[in-house]
Amino acid sequence: MPPMEKNSKKKHLSFFEKMNYLRKEYIQKDLIIDLIVNPKYFWLSSIVFLVAEIMINILIIQKVKYTEIDWKAYMQEVEGVVNGTWDYTKLRGDTGPLVYPAGFVYLFMGLYYLTSKGTNIRLAQYIFAAFYIITLMFVFRIFHKSRKLPPYMLIFMCLTAYRVHSIFVLRMFNDPVAMMFFYGAMNLFIDGYWSLGSLIYSLAVSIKMNILLFAPALLMAYIHCLHIKNTIKQLTICAAVQVALGAPFLIENPLGYMKMSFDIGRVFLFKWTVNWRFLDEETFVNQFFHLSLLVLHVVLLVTFAITHWNRYLANYATLQSIGMDKDMGCQLFILPLFVSNLIGMTVSRSLHYQFYIWYFHSLPYLLWSTRYSIVFRLLVLGIIELCWNTYPSTWWSSALLHCCHIAILGGIYYNRPTDKHTERLKRALEKNN
């Protein structure tokens, strides 16, 4: 049929006939499958899920009852600063003394003013819903650039994230805000904005200290990609942010500020632990047990640094230097940071329910960095979700959680880079040149 006759015929089609024509013309089976399983289309599915998450968060805020845990205490702690108290040892709330760095104070002081001294809970929830959406945007961009995850994993990162939605919009902890800043810093690092990334990373640390769990791998990334001189520059930026934010408190009571905000020896309460419930309380608080976990932490970091990170980051630095395949190459940067954090959580002296957000969004990426079957990967994700949603925690939920952590670390270890990986990269570089 001549083109003009074909166009004329299309004009006289009914609405349903036009829809059927478009379906046959553009919606092919292969395309639908690609939208579900092809990492290349992760960005397209991400847009759909972001819109869905906006509606879900609105529904949660409107329909699910808010439960007070730490928000009131946060407001009481920053109110002390509002009233002129700069001695950190004197800042307290209903849950105890203030134990977070200065960035937390400034952030929640801003929320204090925005929410009428913390009384406008509904507004605070919507602000945290915005934090949640921003966090997802950062995470989705990382995964899109890495071309690692299939789009269907968004179902598990969004629609099954019961505990995560609660941490953000029903509990309003500081943990998710710190993670939002961290994922923002990761995006900047991947894009090559190292100094700005270091600044944002340090801001994340200033909100909650758990962000330091990523530091060992990040330090190695600095050294490989920027070398010693620029590594010192990045560390200086990180330190300067901490000093600048803490200056008023350091002037008033330097020892008090350092002790309260960066207290690595703090003893956690056994009744809130998610990961050590199968122990008795005497063992849980024992200093020898804590020291053993610290030694294990160092051993695991050194092991993965030697077997994985050194080669990954060296190859990443090479790709960065020649500008080749920067998106997929960022896998070599992402995995060391996520593994460093997972190691810290695996040997943590105690995990509380809000700590789930520390690694929730990285879990699919970590599992897809193993050789396990898809069924086993999804099974591990499901068990982890079950463990974090078992309240109060039990001996079996804690034990299962450790089994999952060990399974992920073991799977990544046995999928470590070999000489074959290096040779493949060399061939790709030679081909590119």
Contact 261/101 with Cβ under 8 angstroms? yes
pLDDT at 308: 92
Which residues are 97's β-sheet partners?
92
- Give the pLDDT of residue 10: 47
Find, among 363, 360, 353, 369, the residue nearest to 416 by Cα.
369
b (16+ CB within 10 A) / e for 70-103: bbebbbbbbbbbeeebbebbebebeeeebbbbbb
- Stated length of the chain: 433
Tens digits of pLDDT across the chain (433 residues): 555 444 544 455 566 665 565 555 555 666 677 778 888 889 889 999 999 999 999 999 999 999 899 999 999 999 999 999 999 999 999 988 999 999 999 999 999 999 999 999 999 999 999 999 999 999 999 999 999 999 999 999 988 888 999 999 999 999 999 999 999 999 999 999 999 999 999 999 999 999 999 999 999 999 999 999 999 999 999 999 999 999 999 999 999 999 988 877 677 788 889 999 999 999 999 999 999 999 999 999 999 999 999 999 999 998 887 765 556 689 999 999 999 999 999 999 999 999 999 999 999 999 999 999 999 999 999 999 999 999 999 999 999 999 999 999 999 999 987 765 556 555 554 554 4
Residue 42 tokens read as 């992760």
DSSP 339-407: HHHHHHHHT-S---GGGGGGTGGGHHHHHTTS---HHHHHHHHHHHHHHHT-SS--HHHHHHHHHHHHH
- Measure the CA–CA gap between 386 and 384, rounded to whole angstroms: 5
- Do the beta carbons of residue 107 and residue 177 sit within 8 Å? yes
CB 259 within 8 A of CB 270: no
Angle between helices 287-304 and 331-346 (to 10 degrees): 160
Q: DSSP assignment, residue 267?
A: P
| Predicted TM-score of the model (pTM) | 0.90
Alpha-carbon separation of residue 222 from 180, 189, 321, 339, 379 (angstroms) = 21, 10, 14, 17, 35
Residue type at position 390: T
Residue 266 in tokens? 């703090």
- At residue 270, the pLDDT reads 86
- Give the sign of the dihedral formed by CA 170, CA 402, CA 208, CA 218: negative
> What secondary structure letter does DSSP report for 159?
I
Give DSSP secondary structure letters for 41-101: GHHHHHHHHHHHHHHHHHHHHHHSPP--SSHHHHHHHHHHHHTT---GGG-EETTEE--S-
Hey, which residues does 96 pair with through a beta bridge? Answer: 93
Question: Which of 334, 1, 355, 316 shows the shortest CA–CA distance to 167?
Answer: 355
